[in-house]
Amino acid sequence: MLKALSLVVLATVMAPVVQAQTAAYPTKPIRLIVPFAPGGAADQTARLISEPMAKELGQPIIVENKPGGGATVGAALVASAAPDGYIVLYTTPGPQIINPYLMGKLPYDPDKDLIPVSRVAWFPNVLVVAPKLPVNTVQELIEYARKNPGKTNFGSSGIGASTHLSGELFKSMAGVDIVHVPYKGSGQVIQDLLAGNVQMAIDSLSVYIGQIRSGNLRALGVASPERSPLLPNVPAIAEQLKGYEAVAVNYLSVPAGTPRAVIDRLNSALRVVINEPAMNERMINGGMIPKTSTPEEMAAEIQVERIKWRKVIAESGAKAE
């Protein structure tokens, strides 16, 4: 009884201290964990928003790349961290949407250990091929792959990444035998595409727009339902492969137990940054669809996306190697 009374007294004494710390947040640098290697869409966007967010919050934001395990390494790091708002995960579909169905066991609970702060943007993907691949349309690619079963491959930024599942969705819907080649980030995929070591990829338009415009890589189709205004002459993949769509959502999340006041502060700062006209235009020109959300809206979107990609994983037979 004495022990229980002591705990009550301690909680009563500490409550004002915790409230004061939350109200003053942030008082030190914030770590923004990117669960992929440098060079990909997640890394580029995290760095794009980190500096203006730091100015808005009044503290530095340090971007750290923690690649591995289809984003599970970085996600596990954040999920097990202190829920104080000083470690944030730049979250792609892998950690909470895809990996629960792609992998046998995760080093964290995707339902309980991470909670969303806000959506950052939607990322329409684009299908690109190596310069020497003798195809110019999605249909020609499908025919080529059917004539060369098991000899056509696609690169992704890692097992379980949206780039992986986008390729698996294409493989399943087109009925072709193409081989998945996982990398540790989109930057490595681009290098091997240019070198001809990998033949195709379905990755973020924001990452590949420069290579497409320069003519280094050939775009066969965008993975959004309609054509992109950035590439008006490139058809939607769905124009030749009916029903195909692969648009990845990116968002910020924090460890479960993070105070709501801290989450709201992060949400507010991100909203200010992305809604600033110059930033908004920059993101759109980079191939993104910038759109923030409330934590509740993002949580609901996670559940909707889970249903979609769970079906893709089951039908394609995709699994972590």
Q: pLDDT tens, position by position, for the chain (321 residues)?
A: 565 555 555 546 544 544 555 779 999 999 999 999 898 889 999 999 999 999 999 999 999 999 988 899 999 999 999 999 999 999 999 899 999 998 878 999 999 999 999 999 998 899 999 999 999 999 999 999 999 999 999 999 887 778 888 999 999 899 999 999 999 888 899 999 999 999 999 998 988 999 999 999 999 999 998 899 889 999 999 999 999 999 889 999 999 999 999 999 999 999 999 999 999 999 988 888 899 999 999 999 999 999 989 988 888 777 776
Q: In this structure, what is the dihedral angle of CA atoms 315, 205, 39, 28, given to the nearest 10 degrees?
A: -90
pLDDT digits (tens, 9 = 90+) for 84-110: 999 999 999 989 999 999 887 899 999
Q: Which pLDDT score is estimated for 311?
A: 87
Burial group, residue 28, by CB count within 10 angstroms (0-12, 13-18, 19+): exposed
Please tell me whether the overall predicted TM-score, pTM, comes out greater than 0.85 for this model.
no
Domain boundaries, the chain: 29-123+248-316, 124-239
Residue pair 157/228 in contact (Cβ under 8 Å)? The answer is no
CATH architecture of 124-239: 3-Layer(aba) Sandwich (3.40)
CA distances (Å), origin 15, targets 5, 7, 133:
15, 12, 64
Give the contacts of 20 (CB within 8 A, at least 6 positions apart). Answer: none
Residue the block writes with tokens 């098991």: 150
pLDDT at 229: 86
Report, at the CATH architecture level, how domain 29-123+248-316 is classified. 3-Layer(aba) Sandwich (3.40)
The answer to whether 125 and 204 have CB atoms below 8 angstroms apart is yes
**Closest to 116 in 3D by CA, of 140, 99, 91:** 91
pLDDT of 7 reads: 52
Rounded distance, CA 101 to CA 302, Å?
14
Distance CA 282, CA 230 (A): 12
